[in-house]
């Protein structure tokens, strides 16, 4: 993922979704959006068989950022090498 491309997509109203494999073989889903002038970072991993069962979504976090730089810094810290 490239920073400039991410920023453009978000500013144009498009969401960004990607995946990240942690060293312990847990595959995280990472979703980025721009909602009401705030950058949103939604992360989780799925552990189960039923997508309709919310208990299968683990370590789910939804965080909002006022600026793009803070969003990128958080992603780089939690998911090194993704950006």
Q: pLDDT tens for residues 12-54?
A: 999 999 999 998 899 999 999 999 999 999 999 999 889 899 9
Strand segments, DSSP code E, in 1-83 are 16-21, 27-35, 38-46, 57-65
Domain containing 48 equals 3-74
Q: How sure is the predictor about 76, in pLDDT bands with cuts at 50, 70 and 90?
A: very high
Residue 23: its pLDDT value, please? 87
Residue 15 forms beta bridges with which residues? Answer: none
Residue 83: its pLDDT value, please? 86
Whether residue 7 has pLDDT greater than 90: yes
Asked if residue 27 belongs to a domain, the reply is: yes
Asked if residue 66 belongs to a domain, the reply is: yes
Asked if residue 82 belongs to a domain, the reply is: no
Domain tally for the chain? 1
């Amino acid at each position: 993922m490239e920073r400039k491309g991410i920023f453009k997509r978000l500013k144009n109203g498009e969401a960004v979704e990607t995946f990240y494999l942690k060293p312990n073989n847990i595959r995280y889903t990472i979703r980025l959006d721009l909602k009401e002038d705030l950058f949103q970072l939604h992360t989780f991993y799925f552990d189960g068989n039923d997508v309709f069962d919310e208990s299968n979504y683990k370590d789910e976090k939804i965080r909002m950022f006022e600026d793009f730089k803070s969003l990128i810094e958080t992603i780089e810290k939690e998911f090194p090498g993704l950006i």
